[in-house]
Each structure stands twice: as structure tokens, then as C-alpha cells.
Amino acid sequence: MRYSPESLIAFVEAAELGSFSAAARKLSKSQSTVSIAIANLEADIGCPLFDRNGRQPVLTDAGRQVLHHVEAILAASERLDALAMRLEQQVEPLLSVVMTDIYSVLFYGETAARFGDKFPDTELRCGPGEDADVIHMIQQGQAQLGILAAQQTYPADVAIARLPQNAAFRLYVSGSHPLASIAQPDSADLERERQLCLKTYAPGVHRASGQTWSAPDYLTLLEFAELGFGWAELPAAMVERFGRTLVELRIAGYPRGVDIDVAWSRRNPLGPAGQWLLEQILAG
């Protein structure tokens, strides 16, 4: 049986967002269109996928089983689109990549050099971005690839893969900051001082409380820390390269390991240059 791609996508979005209306907004369609698409899929499969008795639709046991297979179908379709693009050799004139400061120190070297040799006529546009900002740019088509600290969840229209590398995060302050004179500071010591924390432009999860300053990227936080404005959790590799005047705070729980993901859009298949770069990034 052939299942409608629109029905499959509507089902996955509704399952993730927990709402037909939210799925409709995400897909820029009417709620009735999404409801009909899901109803058609239920008719094709032969059983209800959502329990509609409550205020919000909830996946049935069958729905949870179907979701796993539908996600696999969409992933396979995406891989087929990528293969077709490579076979046609329609190399894109521009490849936009947005990446976390965690990874940029690894990317701007051999990987970028190999890309330039492989695709001399493709403009490689690189820019900084973190967390929700990276996901937003992928969804809006402003970037074809995004590299970011691993998130707990991702939208259904964003595909991700885990990189072989991870990053170590440590706490840092300026050598002139009061915390630098404490041999083993604790959480109470940190709470008395200003925290410099990451906060994206796009809505995301920001857990910092109390006295804080924020920035959308780690390099700005590093600059703030070097100027003595407060303490910050920063990628150790970036501090080793750019933060020579910073002092590490020895505190329980650090260093903290952070996984790194690469993300791309399920709706807009990567071209040959993007697919090649994705493979290089995943190869480490």
C-alpha cells in the first residue's frame, strides 16, 4: 500500500507536538487538512492512531508502533532524495553551515580545506549559532547544515546524527575575579556572583537564575569572563585557544562532557556538496 507523504509527515508532527492544531501551524496548513491527512492514514492502516477522547490527542498503543515505522520511512525517503541528488550531480552553488563555538575550532582546518578542494565552485558560508538558533535556521532554510550541542528533543522535520567527538565544559573566571582566589568554590560561592550564560534568540531552555548576563554565543561569554563580568561555563578547547587569561574553577561535577550533533532539514534534501560535508563531519 502507498501511504501519502503528507499523511506521514502530519502524523509525525502531531505525535511530537501533541496537538493537531500545533502540527497545522508548523506545516502552514489548516487544522482540517492535518486532521483529514491523519484520518486517511488511520483508514489505510486500519486502526486509530490517536485517542481523541481528551483535550489533546494521545497516541494509542498502535500509534506508538506505527510512529517508529513512519519515522523510518521518512528517513529512508530522505536518504533516497540525497542519493538522487548526488546521481544527478546538481552541485549547489552555496552551502550554508551554522555551528556552535564548541565545534568551530575543529572545523576550521582540514575539513574546510578538503571541502574547498572538492567543491571549488561552491561558496561555503559559515556562521556561529547555538542550540535553538541552529534549529531555527535549519527550519527556515537559512542554513543547510547545523552543528550544535546535543539537545534533548528535536522537531520532526529536523534530522540529526551524533558526532564521534564530544566537548569538555569547565567553569572559568578572570584571574582578577573574587572567585579566582577561592581554592575550591561551591555552589553557594557561585550564587553570590554573576553568571554569564548562553541564551539564544530563538525560544529555548535556559536554566540560569539569579544575577545573570547572557549572550547567544560562547565567544562573547568568554570575552565577558575575561573582562571580569562574572563566571561562565565554557568549552575547554575554546578557552585553550582564545581565553589565555582565564582561570578554571575547581568545582564538583566538572569537567562536564557534552555530545555534539549535526542537523539538517528533512524537507530540503542536501545537495552533493552538503552530503559530502555531512559524511566528512560524521567521519570525524
CATH code for the part of the protein at 5-86: 1.10.10.10
pLDDT at 208 over 70: no
pLDDT for residue 102: 86
Beta strands (DSSP E) in 49-208 are 50-51, 58-59, 94-99, 123-128, 145-149, 158-174, 195-198
DSSP string, 228-267: TS-EEEEEHHHHHHH-TTEEEE--TT-SEEEEEEEEEESS
pTM here is 0.70
Say how far residue 103 (Cα) sits from the centre of its chain. Answer: 13
Q: Pick the residue with more confidence: 104 or 233?
A: 233
Whether pLDDT at 39 is above 90: yes
**Per-residue model confidence as pLDDT tens digits over 24-37:** 999 999 999 999 99
Task: Specify the pLDDT at position 205.
Answer: 60
The 10s digit of each residue's pLDDT in 174-201 is 999 999 999 889 989 999 999 999 999 9
Class at the top of the CATH hierarchy for domain 92-157+263-283:
alpha beta
Residues of the chain with CATH 3.40.190.10: 92-157+263-283
233, pLDDT greater than 70: yes
pLDDT of residue 85: 66
Confidence of residue 49 (pLDDT cuts 50, 70, 90): very high
Residue-wise pLDDT tens digits, 237-257: 999 988 889 999 999 899 999
**pLDDT at position 179:** 95
259 vs 121, residue with greater confidence: 259
- Euclidean distance between CA atoms 233 and 195, whole angstroms: 9
Q: What is the DSSP track for 206-228?
A: ----SSEEEESSHHHHHHHHHTT
Place of cell 492512531: 49
Q: What pLDDT, on a 0 to 100 scale, did the predictor assign at position 54?
A: 87
Note the CATH number of domain 166-258: 3.40.190.290
- Residue 206's pLDDT is 58
**Encoded amino acid at 21, one letter:** S
User: Which amino acid, one-letter code, is at 64?
Assistant: R
Whole-number percent of the chain with pLDDT over 90: 69
Contact 85, 268 (CB under 8 A): no
Exposed/middle/buried for residue 67 (C-beta within 10 Å: 0-12, 13-18, 19+): middle
Which amino acid belongs to residue 199? Answer: K
| Residue 107, all three cell numbers | 572545523
The ranges of the chain annotated as CATH 3.40.190.290 are 166-258
Q: What pLDDT, on a 0 to 100 scale, did the predictor assign at position 1? A: 62
Asked if residues 125 and 94 have their Cβ atoms less than 8 Å apart, the reply is yes
Cα separation, 276 vs 144, whole angstroms: 12
User: With 90 as the cut, is the pLDDT of residue 84 above it?
Assistant: no
**Helix, strand and coil percent figures for the chain, each rounded to 5:** 45, 25, 35
